[in-house]
Amino acid sequence: MGLFFIKCEEAGHVCDKHQYEEASITEKIKLNIHLFYCSACRKHSATNKKLTSLLKNISLQFLSSEEKEQLKKAFEKELKKHQH
């Protein structure tokens, strides 16, 4: 392949790197050229963009250590009720 033409496997790897803002400018150029003629990789890239967008907009909440311990104790208490 030519200087700026890459195979689908490499395009997928660069697409993933681009999702995490780790792709170099050269890799981005190669990826865009590849996406121009490869519909399968365009679809993969579009899916990655949607996933990235969803992850950026998600608001996760975590249990505190105390809440985890309370949940664990409640679970163990219920488990003992069902073990005869």
Q: Which residues of 59-83 are buried (b: 16+ CB within 10 A; e: fewer)?
A: eeeeeeeeeeeeeeeeeeeeeeeee
Whether 17 is in a domain gets the answer: yes
For the chain, the average pLDDT equals 91
pTM of the predicted model, to two decimals? 0.62
Domain encompassing residue 69: 8-82
Going by pLDDT thresholds of 50, 70 and 90, the confidence category of residue 84 is: low
The 10s digit of each residue's pLDDT in 13-42 is 999 999 888 999 999 999 999 999 999 999
Task: Give me the number of domains the chain comprises.
Answer: 1
Whether 2 is in a domain gets the answer: no
**What gap in Å lies between CA 31 and CA 38, rounded to an integer?**
10
Whether 1 is in a domain gets the answer: no
pLDDT score recorded for residue 24: 95
Going by pLDDT thresholds of 50, 70 and 90, the confidence category of residue 70 is: very high
pLDDT at 75 over 60: yes
Whether 3 is in a domain gets the answer: no
Q: Exposed (0-12), middle (13-18) or buried (19+): which is 45, by Cβ within 10 Å?
A: buried
